[in-house]
Structure 1
Amino acid sequence: MNETATPPSRARAEIDLAAVRGNVRALRERAPEAALMAVVKADGYGHGAVPVARAALEAGAGWLGTATPQEALALRAAGLTRVPVMCWLWTPGGPWREAVEADVDVSVSGMWALREAVAAARAAGRTARVHLKADTGLGRNGSAPADWPELVAAARAAEAEGAVKVTGLWSHFACADEPGHPSIQAQLDLFTELVAYAEAAGLDPEVRHHANSPATLTVPASHLDLVRTGIALYGISPSPELGSSADLGLRPAMTLTADLALVKRVPAGHGVSYGHHYVAPGDTTLGLVPVGYADGIPRHASGTGPVLIGSKLRTVAGRVAMDQFVVDLGGDTPAAGDRAVLFGPGDRGEPTAEDWARAAGTIAYEIVTRIGPRVPRIYRNGTAGAANGSSQ
């Protein structure tokens, strides 16, 4: 079975799983000596975590990554049981024991988290798989370098008890999407020092990892044992400064379309949408596209968002509303039910997620991730194994 059926709907996000597999292969070519983690947090950046995870594994990914433990546990519940899964965004009182029992690798950035991982391991009667995270300069999660010796010593003691196994040491870049930024090498140098300290203290991790998508594409020295690929997995360039998706050998996997709900003629001077920020400059036709900010269409793209209808690019006319927006068709008269393409790979003349990002003053990550649950996901180019829910 290669495709899910297309249900009748006002809009749909078509996900090309062949593109996901191709992107994994392209990324593995960039980092041939490192294992590849497919990051499927935020429901696979809006693409669907489980279908994307299966496609990525089929193409050679060796790990899966999530932000929250709930996301990691959902992958296990979906039958993805024979692949390492890591999650890194923990708060006190989280489902530590459930994660340990599900053989999920958990990230620890401070002493409180290590204590909770150890307690969960003792309660579960099994060893917790732990990655120690160092803050090498991003300033978010991760142990401060000054606190690293205490964390390493405590983790080594927990290993000696049998409560944990430190399976990874890791960090995250701040500016890898800015080629040549001095912080890139500074972070790598500091990480090398912190890893050396941990290993001298007796830790022997399975993987050391620092590279995100942009570093995987442009900083070979950062590849180490494992690269964590997020946005690039979905075929989107991490930054225009690094090049377009095509420049990087990637293909966007999501195509967002909607069916016109109404086409009507209006006279010159007719106001359009809330506040009348757009007024028809002459007699024209308006097309109603039945998606809005409740579906993830950014209101900040009011008056600027691009749409392909027929063979012509149009622009959002006036404000994006909660459930719909309007385009000025310039007198053309497509039929209700004709398709409007908001974004896709771009090779058929349609806008891309990056085009919408520029229109809304944001990044393409946000454009695809924010597409909401009212928009059904339609999967193309799946495999029999993915369709029948087989374990990986």
Structure 2
Amino acid sequence: MRIASPHAHAVVHLDAVAHNTALFAAATNAAVLAVVKADGFGHGAVRVAETALRSGATWLGVTTCAEALQLRAGGIDAPILSWMHSPLEDVEAALLAGVDLSVSSREHLRAVAATAARLGRTAEVHLKADTGLHRNGARPEEWRELVRLARELETGEHVRVRGVWSHLVSGAAGDANRRQVELFDEAVGVARAAGLRPRIRHLANSAAALGAPETHYELVRPGIGLYGVEPDPLRSRGLRGAMTLRARLILVKRVPAGSGVSYGHEYVTDRDTTLALVPLGYADGLPWAAAGQAEVSIAGRRYPVAGRIAMDQFVVDVGDAEPRIGDEVVVFGPGTGGEPTVADWAGWANTVPHEVITGIGPRVARHYERESAHV
């Protein structure tokens, strides 16, 4: 049972997800795979997936088989690619649900093929090449053996290579990006020389999907951009923030100059001032490291977070303003009303926006807002 806070909630703007998905679809001739891993980056995987599929996406991408099965249980029958598994993992349920699986080694491929044979099914796989990120994927010296085995297994009935893919180090233009494209093309060439005929090649993340058409191939994979975070912070593409985090003040007090606030008294008031208590903390996903720089918005005006962010609460110094208990606090949002954004909080905490939005915890209920009839 999920226990939600009575004092805070996150609004998920499905119209923003729709807008962002359509923007990616308009930027390419390739198909769009909407990345909805980590519960849709904290926004709710099923609701985001439904919206993305109505707005230009035709594929969905997740990290695990459990995430893929959650989508199937939610009534989604679109193609799904799940990309991180152990060769020791039981993928039976995923194969029965028609989920495509990424494969990065011969051990992975043999395990998937054995499960498919036991089920009497054909596993649709995407072979992943390591083109420089050095995480998942087969290195060039392993790739030839992987594609050779894949071709051998394709002569039977239980494996079909639907795709070949890799992951960019970044989406920004530059020599590293160009070299990865070259290495990816070489990997595809090796696969074809082995007799494979993958119908889908995919490489582009959010940034590349918007700014590097040479990486698009047959499929692009936007992730963070779907949720309104500009993948290139130096360039605006018109993406709209898809989440607003709100809370209500539960205490307001006047304190004298020289009052230390929160643990360690790292913040000391330099004047008589009013402090307002917000019932959200790092247990709800607010970055502890943002204290000292972070701001929130109350009645359309920004105020600083005073002192350390605690597990369940933080304090705002509102000066001579006169907020009341129950007044709304906007922790972050799209920024259209002057409120801080997810990117602001990431900057204050010296982290990435991904960590901020995926970190918003289960005590924060999600409310879904639809402003457009088609969403």
Return the TM-score normalized by structure 1. 0.92
| Correspondence 1:26 to 2:23 | yes
Deviation (angstroms), 1:239: 3.2
Q: Provide runs of 4+ in structure 1 moved above 2 Å.
A: 382-386
Q: Decide whether the 8 Å contact of 2:5 with 2:363 is kept in 1.
A: no
Q: Decide whether the 8 Å contact of 1:252 with 1:345 is kept in 2.
A: yes
**Residue aligned with 1:365, SS:** helix
- Name 1:215's counterpart in structure 2: 208
Q: Aligned partners of 1:98 and 1:8: how far apart in 2?
A: 35
- Letter in structure 1 aligned against 2:146: L
- Name 1:3's counterpart in structure 2: none
- Name 2:12's counterpart in structure 1: 15
Q: Decide whether the 8 Å contact of 1:308 with 1:340 is kept in 2.
A: yes
Structure 2 unmatched ranges of 5 or more? none
- Letter in structure 1 aligned against 2:180: Q
**Residue aligned with 1:38, SS:** strand
- Name 2:275's counterpart in structure 1: 286
Q: How many residues align?
A: 372
Deviation (angstroms), 1:235: 1.1
Deviation digits for residues 52-99 of structure 1, max 9, x if unmatched? 000000112000000111101111111112x10001011232231111
**Residue aligned with 2:329, SS:** strand
- Name 2:298's counterpart in structure 1: 309
Deviation (angstroms), 1:385: 9.2
Deviation (angstroms), 1:9: 2.5
Deviation digits for residues 313-343 of structure 1, max 9, x if unmatched? 1111100000000011102121111001011
| Correspondence 1:161 to 2:150 | no
Q: Decide whether the 8 Å contact of 1:258 with 1:290 is kept in 2.
A: yes
- Letter in structure 2 aligned against 1:362: T
Deviation (angstroms), 1:383: 7.9
Written as runs of structure 1 = structure 2, the 5 A alignment for 1:225-240 is 225-240=218-233
Q: Quick check: 69-78 or 318-327, which moved more?
A: 69-78
**Residue aligned with 1:316, SS:** strand
| Correspondence 1:296 to 2:285 | yes
- Name 1:204's counterpart in structure 2: 197
| Correspondence 1:363 to 2:352 | yes
- Name 1:78's counterpart in structure 2: 74
Q: Decide whether the 8 Å contact of 1:97 with 1:123 is kept in 2.
A: no
Q: Decide whether the 8 Å contact of 2:304 with 2:318 is kept in 1.
A: no
| Correspondence 1:184 to 2:177 | yes
Q: Aligned partners of 1:384 and 1:351: how far apart in 2?
A: 28
* Coordinate RMSD, CA, aligned: 1.4
Q: Decide whether the 8 Å contact of 2:248 with 2:329 is kept in 1.
A: yes
| Correspondence 1:41 to 2:30 | no
Identity rate, percent: 52
Q: Aligned partners of 1:147 and 1:279: how far apart in 2?
A: 59
**Residue aligned with 2:155, SS:** helix
**Residue aligned with 2:185, SS:** helix
Q: Aligned partners of 2:338 and 2:15: how far apart in 1?
A: 20
Q: Aligned partners of 2:300 and 2:17: how far apart in 1?
A: 27
Q: Aligned partners of 1:226 and 1:380: how far apart in 2?
A: 29
**Residue aligned with 1:366, SS:** helix
Q: Decide whether the 8 Å contact of 2:5 with 2:365 is kept in 1.
A: no
Deviation (angstroms), 1:311: 2.4
Q: Aligned partners of 2:5 and 2:39: how far apart in 1?
A: 23
Written as runs of structure 1 = structure 2, the 5 A alignment for 1:88-107 is 88-107=83-102
- Name 1:390's counterpart in structure 2: none
- Name 2:112's counterpart in structure 1: 117
Q: Aligned partners of 1:335 and 1:168: how far apart in 2?
A: 57
**Residue aligned with 2:362, SS:** coil
Deviation digits for residues 231-288 of structure 1, max 9, x if unmatched? 01111111313x2xxx202101101111011111111111110001011111111000
Q: Quick check: 336-345 or 87-96, which moved more?
A: 87-96
Deviation (angstroms), 1:346: 0.5
**Residue aligned with 2:145, SS:** helix
- Name 1:55's counterpart in structure 2: 51
| Correspondence 1:150 to 2:139 | no
- Letter in structure 2 aligned against 1:170: W
**Residue aligned with 1:329, SS:** strand
- Letter in structure 2 aligned against 1:183: A
Q: Decide whether the 8 Å contact of 2:15 with 2:372 is kept in 1.
A: no
Q: Decide whether the 8 Å contact of 1:55 with 1:382 is kept in 2.
A: no
- Letter in structure 2 aligned against 1:167: R
Deviation digits for residues 199-241 of structure 1, max 9, x if unmatched? 1221111210000111101100100000001001111111313
- Letter in structure 1 aligned against 2:267: Y
Q: Aligned partners of 1:333 and 1:86: how far apart in 2?
A: 52
Structure 1 unmatched ranges of 5 or more? 1-6, 387-392
Q: Quick check: 219-228 or 198-207, which moved more?
A: 198-207
Deviation digits for residues 139-178 of structure 1, max 9, x if unmatched? 10000011111000111111111111101000000022xx
Q: Aligned partners of 1:20 and 1:383: how far apart in 2?
A: 11
- Letter in structure 1 aligned against 2:8: A
Deviation (angstroms), 1:8: 8.2
| Correspondence 1:131 to 2:122 | no
